[in-house]
Amino acid sequence: MLVGVLTAAALLEGVLRPEVVWRPLVTIAAVALVPVLLWRRTHPLTAVLVAFGTLLMLAAADLLSGSAKPIGLYTNVFVLLLSYSLFRWASGREMTLGLGVMLVTAGVALVADWTGAVDAVGGMVFLLFPAVLGASVRYWRSARARELEQMKTSEREQLARELHDTVAHHVSAIAIRAQAGQVVAQARPEAALDALDVVEREASRTLEELRVIVGALRDSDHAELAPQRGIVDIPALGLIDDRLQVRVALSGELEDLPPGVGAALYRIAQESLTNALQHARDATQVDFRVTGEPDCVRLRVRDDGLPTAGWSTAGFGLVGMTERAILLGGSLHAGPHPDGGWSVEAVIPRDGSKR
């Protein structure tokens, strides 16, 4: 709707507004730029580069031609929405680049149509106010999301502590009844049956309490009904994003692995692929090699990209992967590969226990 209204406004202004300099050119430029708004959320930097780059060329032409009147339509004021979008949804590096293009465009336009320092300052404030507004909304939304997540985490932890006490009580009752049943089994078999009945009831209640604990500690609101992911699901990671070619090689003995080991290897592979998509510059493919050895399972992941500033061993993703491997008695190493790219190698014991 916004694109349709602005397109109509640009056409009407280009046709009806008197004394428009280079009327056909500026009208076509304004109409062609309006659809850029459709990508202001998904590709904010691209939208800013296209829109402000076009306005920069018009301003440069105005400066070189020495026209006494400014070139362009009033409808072009819609680019302020792109200024807001850049600081609302773009990354830090994209914001810096986009801001530079915006300031250069504004500077050339001011020089081409100089009307005084006061107007120049007012124009800059008018241009940057949407950017400040976008950054403020972004900060508020992020702070609000962190606050809500902290509140939910605190509530889950409190509930888990309370349920832990309940489960501990049930387990203690099971242990006591089982011991009592063993003592009286020979002399009073009926008492042993009563003890087993109590054990069965307490065990059922304990399982229910454990399900509540697991549900309380989940990050998502709804539990996944699909089976737990494992090594056999690693090849499907290539379907997550088509920007990278994913190659998977499975070798060795990979049968009869505990579910926790398979799930850990899958999560490490998934996080490695996510990191490659986010941080590996100019990467084209990621290789996964899973090898089942007599006492452990080894996962090697390597991409062919160039590491960026955000790709470091201190990242939260790597910390989480390392912690998962250590909890299962294994290890994880990540860093630049000698032959180029970034590599991750995880080694987890087959039984998934501390050595």
**Residue 44 pLDDT:** 93
48-82 burial, b if ≥16 CB within 10 A, otherwise e? bbbbbebbbebbbebeeeeeeebbbbebbebbbbb
Q: Are residues 238 and 274 in the same domain?
A: yes
Q: Are residues 195 and 249 in the same domain?
A: no
Q: Are residues 343 and 290 in the same domain?
A: yes
**Residue 219 pLDDT:** 52
**Residue 311 pLDDT:** 47
The verdict on residue 45 lying in a domain is: yes
131-147 burial, b if ≥16 CB within 10 A, otherwise e? beebeeebeeeeeeeee
DSSP code for 229: P
Mean pLDDT by 10 residues, the chain (355 residues): 91 86 87 92 93 90 74 86 92 91 90 84 90 92 82 67 68 77 75 75 72 58 58 80 82 82 87 83 87 92 72 59 82 87 90 60
**Residue 52 pLDDT:** 93
- Between the alpha carbon of residue 222 and those of residues 56, 86, 144, 219, 288, the distances in Å are 50, 33, 22, 9, 30
Q: Read off the CATH number of the domain in which 339 is found.
A: 3.30.565.10
End-of-domain residue from the set 114, 131, 166: 114
Q: What pLDDT, in 10s, does the model give residues 298-312?
A: 999 998 887 654 444
**Residue 240 pLDDT:** 67
The verdict on residue 34 lying in a domain is: yes
Q: Which two tokens stand for residue 327?
A: 């909890």
Q: What pLDDT, in 10s, does the model give residues 238-290?
A: 776 677 888 899 998 888 787 778 888 988 998 888 888 887 777 888 999 99
pTM for the whole structure: 0.49
Q: Are residues 11 and 104 in the same domain?
A: yes
Q: Are residues 157 and 260 in the same domain?
A: no
The verdict on residue 302 lying in a domain is: yes
Determine the structural domain holding residue 15 and report its residue range: 2-114
**Residue 229 pLDDT:** 78
The verdict on residue 125 lying in a domain is: no
**Residue 37 pLDDT:** 93
**Residue 310 pLDDT:** 47
The verdict on residue 143 lying in a domain is: no
